[in-house]
């Protein structure tokens, strides 16, 4: 039996142009798509499903709320990135279809561990089960 292919949507100018993040995901068998704005993401999510959505923190609260609503109950996970000095923190918003806005922010190392766990949950038989290399 063939394992499920994990798919990810990267939302925002900085995330969609992040070769390091794209490479990290693709090395783990993730099929990546990207869009530049929340509005594009909302339109795409109405017609396509993704296991994982990584988004820059939307400038308007309504955009973030719409993404959470679109992904709630789907089994997908959603994280928002928040720039902090030379890095960023990741804010969990939906965990495998369950809203979790308000969960503690994750620093890059903790985020990569959480992301690896999400990939394994979405694709338990795939090659992502080995190694937890950092982004």
Q: What is the pTM of this model?
A: 0.82
Collapsed DSSP state (helix, strand, coil) of residue 91 = strand
Helix axes 38-47 and 61-71, enclosed angle (nearest 10): 20
What's residue 2's pLDDT?
31
What's residue 127's pLDDT?
30
- The pLDDT profile of the chain, 135 residues, written as one tens digit per residue, is 333 448 999 999 888 778 888 999 999 899 999 999 999 999 999 999 999 999 998 766 688 889 999 999 998 999 999 888 888 899 999 998 999 988 999 999 999 888 887 677 665 433 333 333 445
What's residue 41's pLDDT?
94
Q: The tokens 């994750």 sit on which residue? A: 106
Which run of H or of E encompasses 89?
strand 87-95
What's residue 104's pLDDT?
94
What's residue 59's pLDDT?
67
Spatial distance between the Cα atoms of 93 and 129, rounded to a whole number of angstroms: 24
- Three-class SS of the chain: CCCCCCEEEEECHHHHCCHHHHHHHHHCCCEEEEECCHHHHHHHHHHCCCCEEEEECCCCHHHHHHHHHHHCCCCCEEEEEEEECCEEEEEEEEECCEECCCCCCECHHHHHHHHHHHHHHHCCCCHHHCCCCCC
The pair of structure tokens assigned to 87 is 């890095």
What's residue 126's pLDDT?
31
What's residue 14's pLDDT?
86
């Amino acid at each position: 039996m063939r394992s499920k292919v994990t798919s990810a949507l990267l939302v925002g100018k900085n995330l969609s142009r992040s070769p390091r993040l794209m490479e990290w995901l693709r090395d783990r068998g993730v099929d990546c798509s990207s869009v530049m704005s929340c509005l594009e993401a909302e339109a795409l999510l109405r017609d396509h499903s993704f296991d994982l959505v990584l988004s820059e923190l939307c400038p308007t609260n309504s955009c973030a709320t719409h993404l959470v609503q679109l992904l709630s109950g789907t089994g997908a996970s959603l994280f928002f990135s928040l720039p902090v000095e030379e890095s960023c923190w990741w804010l969990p918003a939906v965990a495998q279809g369950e809203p979790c806005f308000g969960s503690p922010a994750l620093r890059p190392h903790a985020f990569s561990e959480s992301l690896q766990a999400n990939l394994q949950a979405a694709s338990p038989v795939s090659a992502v089960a080995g190694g937890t290399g950092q982004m």
